[in-house]
Amino acid sequence: MARALYIHWPFCIRKCPYCDFNSHVRQDVDQARWAASMLADLRHEADIAGGEPLESVFFGGGTPSLMPPETVAALLAEAERLWGFAPGIEITLEANPSSVEAANFAALAQAGVNRVSLGIQSLREESLQFLGRLHNVGEALDAVETAQTNFDRVSIDLIYARPGQTEDAWHEELSQALALGTDHMSLYQLTIEPNTRFATDVRLGAFDPLADDPAADLFALTRALTAEAGLPAYEISNHARIGQESRHNLAYWRYRDYFGIGPGAHGRRGGTATLRHKKPENWLAAVENGGDGIKEARDLGLREQASEALLMGLRLAEGLDLGELSGRFSIAQRDLIAPEKLRLYSDLGLVRQDGSRITVTDSGMPLLDGLLAELVPEALVSA
Ligand code: SF4
């Protein structure tokens, strides 16, 4: 059963132009009502699937650093009462680096948070403005320092492959970020998601996204610089010192079960996919009227689970073990990934096969989406 718990806080002060997460801007949030409903949604999940102690909790969003620390504390106390916490549990909270939020870090640490993931996004003023961020570089640097004082583990997020970004510029910026000394970094290429303001901007010709070739060069540079600094990629966009990987996110990528509560949260428990109501008001009404925020709970067939496990596992540097997946989902290895496809992409140097362990190589990683479409059989995906 799941040992990872995800809690979604859906509110942000302003919508960033590249963001397609389930985040919403609201003038007033009735904090007491929200805290009570989050606790109710949590209890509902534990009623269905209590059991083994949790190994990780992750507060994501939206901007969970806007949650009152007392709500974070109440949720953690209740989760510990309901499930128990395994020794050394990882408790992460995503935070934006404004000075207002950094002022809450001590209280969040007091509440039990021991790892923070900071949405720095850039160390260049003009890029922060382009990305529509509310903080400046000085605040970002101060927030990293405050986080390092208050939390055992700190991760920072940066967005690269921005329009016009050169290798030299990214080399300098990433080196500066690495010098901050965090043990974990999430480094995402800017992608233009449908239904975002950036998608409209690109359509109207306001800017051109970086082309594929220079973006691939920046990807290669990112891997080289982080590896040199002792934070190799352990997932396509995530880099860590050995032992400092996000245990919570590894549960997703290794296709372990997880509970998800709060608006729009997904969960996987015992072969059932759960989805909460996405719009905050709908989720709130569902919890207040029915005791939980679940919109849909759907049993997944073994083939669908296997395809999800393949799509997740191939993102990881450690790859996946086809033999283990075959046993887990009672599907022959050759039906998980066709041997001729494996041979073809191994010969091209994009995939490595070591016994039944399959990994995507450094050359294959920039092509991961296309490669996944090639490797994971249609029959599994559409199961
Ligand atoms: S702060 Fe994060 S979740 Fe909120 S709009 Fe910006 S990118 Fe999206």
What is the per-residue pLDDT for 1? Answer: 57
Written as tens digits, the pLDDT of the chain (383 aa) is 569 999 999 999 999 999 999 999 998 999 999 999 999 999 999 999 877 999 999 999 999 999 999 999 999 999 999 999 999 999 999 999 998 888 999 999 999 999 999 999 999 999 999 999 999 999 999 999 999 999 999 999 999 999 999 999 999 999 999 999 999 999 999 999 999 999 999 999 999 999 999 999 999 999 999 999 999 999 999 999 999 999 999 999 999 999 999 999 999 998 999 999 999 999 999 999 999 999 999 999 999 999 999 999 999 999 999 999 999 999 999 999 999 999 999 999 999 999 999 999 999 999 999 999 999 877 676 65
State whether the beta carbon of 96 lies less than 6 angstroms from ligand 1.
yes
22 CA to middle of ligand 1, Å? 9
Which residue has tokens 């990528």?
253
Q: How far is the CA of 164 from the centre of ligand 1 (A)?
A: 23
22 lines ligand 1 (CB under 6 A): no
* 3-state SS string for 230-259: CCCEEECCEEECCCCCCHHHHHHHCCCCEE
Neighbours of 134 (CB within 10 A): 16
How many angstroms separate the alpha carbon of residue 345 from the centre of ligand 1? Answer: 37
User: Do 11 and 262 form a contact (C-beta atoms < 8 A)?
Assistant: no
Query: How far, in Å, from the CA of 276 to the mean position of ligand 1?
Result: 19
Which protein residue's CA is at the shortest distance from atom 2 of ligand 1? Answer: 62
Backbone region of residue 73 per phi and psi (left: phi > 0; alpha: psi in -120 to 50; beta: other values):
alpha
Span from the CA of 234 to the centroid of ligand 1 (angstroms): 24
Dist. CA 70–CA 236, nearest whole Å: 35
Measuring CA to CA, how many Å separate 380 from each of 126, 228, 309, 371? 45, 38, 11, 15
Closest ligand 1 atom, residue 132 Cα: 6
Nearest to 317 by CA among 368, 382, 378: 368
Confirm or reject: Cβ of 15 under 6 Å from ligand 1: yes
Q: How many CB atoms lie within 10 A of CB 262?
A: 28
CATH 1.10.10.920 segments of the chain: 303-381
Q: Is 65 in the pocket of ligand 1 (CB under 6 A)?
A: no
Q: Looking at residue 379, what is its pLDDT? A: 66
Residue the block writes with tokens 């073994």: 302
Q: Which of 3.50.50.60, 3.40.50.20, 3.40.50.620, 3.20.20.70 is the CATH number of 4-252?
A: 3.20.20.70
pLDDT value for 383: 55
Residue 228 contacts residue 52 (beta carbons within 8 Å): no
pLDDT at residue 160 in the model? 98
Residue 185, amino acid: M
Closest CA to 25 of 78, 55, 66, 54: 66
C-alpha of residue 383 to centroid of ligand 1, in Å: 33
- For ligand 1, whether the C-beta of 10 sits within 6 Å is no
Atom of ligand 1 nearest to the CA of 15: 5
Q: What is the pTM of this model?
A: 0.96
Which residue lies with its CA nearest to atom 3 of ligand 1? 62
Position in ligand 1 atom list of the atom nearest CA 96: 1
Closest protein CA for atom 6 of ligand 1: 16
Question: Which ligand 1 atom sits closest to the C-alpha of 12?
Answer: 4
**CATH architecture type of domain 303-381:** Orthogonal Bundle (1.10)
Is the Cβ atom of 62 under 6 angstroms away from ligand 1? yes
**pLDDT for res 175:** 98
**Please, what's the b/e burial string for 95-129 (b: 16 or more CB within 10 A of its CB; e: otherwise)?**
bbbbeebbebbeebbebbbbbbbbbbbbbbeebbe
Tell me the one-letter amino acid at 119: G
Q: Is the CB of 313 under 6 A from ligand 1?
A: no
> Looking up tokens 């996405």, which residue turns up?
278
Does residue 6 contact residue 58 with C-beta atoms inside 8 Å? yes
- 154: nearest Cα among 197, 84, 69, 95: 95
Q: Is the CB of 60 under 6 A from ligand 1?
A: no
Q: Edge to edge, what strands does the sheet with 266-269 contain?
A: 266-269, 272-276, 294-299
- Token readout for 298 is 């759907």
Residue 339 Cα, ligand 1 centroid: separation in angstroms?
Answer: 42
**For atom 8 of ligand 1, which residue has the closest CA?**
19
**Is residue 131 within 6 Å of ligand 1 at its C-beta?**
no
Instruction: Tell me where in the chain the CATH 3.20.20.70 domain(s) lie.
Output: 4-252
**pLDDT, position 18:** 97
